[in-house]
Structures are given as structure tokens and as C-alpha cells.
Amino acid sequence: MIYALVLVVGFAAGTVSGIVGTGATIILLPVLVLVFGPREAVPIMAVVALMSNFAKITSWWREIDWRACSAYALGGVPAAALGARTLLVLPEQAVDVALGLFFLAMVPGRRWLAARNITLGYGGMAAAGAVIGFLTGIVVSTGPLSVPAFAAHGLVKGAFIATEAAGSLALYISKAVTFRELGALPFDIMVKGLISGSSVMAGTYTARLIVERLSVTTFQYLLDGVMLISGLVLLYAAVR
């Protein structure tokens, strides 16, 4: 029953992520925290994120902006490794609180960034990668931040989804390798991640069938909704 819940939520998370470019971690992470605890949920989610981003890349392979992706990864890869090392020395309750507050803060934060129509060149993408990479290492997912970063580079729809996924994949590989080197990604954790990630990939591939029909307004409300709900669930997990 536990894995059935994870698979159902994982499929829904993959579908949402495949449509709006982010959301798999935001939706699935609270379930993983409640089922496995925050210490296991973080490396499990790292494996899931690898699989989710791979699915988005293969769905929109021909539309990837490789220059933007490379600039983002240049700053993000070493920063993600540093963030992952920082995460592993934090107490579990602090991880829950940090995750919950981060997601809640991104509801107004995303709108603040979007309202200013900030345009990022390749240098800006590298700087954004460094900041977002470090935060990704600590708080598991920063899709709500990477979404406006890649959108500010002028990418839309399939090109946006695939390029953001390719850049994020580089960060998550760095994070997963760091976890592995520090002994935080043993075989049983990898298996749990593969099981969870399989449902996310299925949802991501399904999402391509409807991604072109989603309006900008629906996207904004959907993204804000999943961040709000997930932030509250994670804060509840920290105080229960």
C-alpha cells in the first residue's frame, strides 16, 4: 500500500512536471518524507529527479538550447555538490522546516521575479545556476526558481521544458554523485528511487499530449497551488 501511494502520487507529479516544467519534487517529496523520513527522502528524490528530467529531455530533445543549458550547468554543478554536503550535516527537523518555508516563500517570490521581466544572458544563466545549484543541494528542488530563470532567457513551451530539464539534470547528477561518495545513497535507497521515479517518468511522457493546450494563467495557478500545499505538508511533518 505504501508503494502504491508513492506510485500514484508519482504519476500525478510527473504529469504536472511535464506540463508546467516543474512540480514533480514539490508534489512527491512530502509523501516520501512522510513514508521514509526526510533523511531517506532527500537522496530518493535525487534519483527521482534524475529520471524525471531525463524523461522531459527525451520528450523534447530537438528543442534544447544547449548554450543556455551549458551556461547554467557551469555555475550549478559545483554549487550543487557543495549544497549536498551542507544538507547532510543538518538535523532532520531543520530539513523539513527549510523545505516547507522555501516552497511557501516561492509563491510570492516567483510572482515578484516574473513581474519585473528580468532578462538573463549566458552570464546571467551561469550566475543563476550557481545560486540555484547550491539551493538545490540543500532544499532538494528549486524548480520554482529555475522556471523564471529559463523563462527570462526567452525560452517557451517545449524548448523551455527540455532546456530547464537538461540544466537541472546536470545539477542532480552532481548532487547524486556527492550523496553516493558520502554514503547517503546506498543500494536500497537507489531501488526506492528507481521505483518512485518510474511512475514520475510515465506521467512526464503522458504530459506531452496536453502541454500545448495549457494556458499561462492555468500554469501560474497550478504552480502556486502545488508549492503552497507541499510547503504546508512539510511544515506539518516537522512539528508532528
Q: Does 72 score more than 90 pLDDT?
A: yes
Residue 92 contacts residue 109 (beta carbons within 8 Å): no
CA distance 139 to 156: 26
Per residue, what are the HEC states of 5-35?
A: HHHHHHHHHHHHHHHHCCCHHHHHHHHHHHH
Q: Give the pLDDT confidence of 134-171 residue by residue, as tens digits.
A: 877 776 666 666 777 787 788 877 788 889 889 988 88
**Which of 19, 14, 179, 151 lies closest to 72 in space, CA to CA?**
151
Q: How far is Cα 127 from Cα 214, in angstroms, rounded to an integer?
A: 30
Binned at pLDDT 50, 70 and 90, residue 59 comes out as: confident
- The pLDDT tens digits for 193-212 are 899 999 999 998 888 877 76
Query: How many angstroms separate the CA atoms of 48 and 195, rounded?
Result: 9
Q: What is the pLDDT of residue 199?
A: 92
More confident position, 51 or 22? 51
Question: Which one, of 6, 59, 19, lies nearest residue 205 by Cα?
Answer: 59
Q: Within 10 Å of residue 3's Cβ, how many Cβ atoms? A: 13
Count of beta carbons in the 10 Å neighbourhood of residue 8? 12
- Whole-model pTM? 0.70
Q: Which pLDDT belongs to residue 92?
A: 60
Q: What is the pLDDT at residue 127? A: 92
List, as one string, the DSSP characters of 125-187: HHHHHHHHHHHHHHHS--HHHHHHHHHTTT--HHHHHHHHHHHHHHHHHHHHHHHHHTT-S-H
pLDDT of residue 141: 63
**Which pLDDT score, from 0 to 100, does residue 68 have?**
93
For residue 121, the one-letter residue type is G
CA distances to 26, 46, 51, 122, 142 from 13, rounded to whole Å, are 8, 15, 12, 30, 15
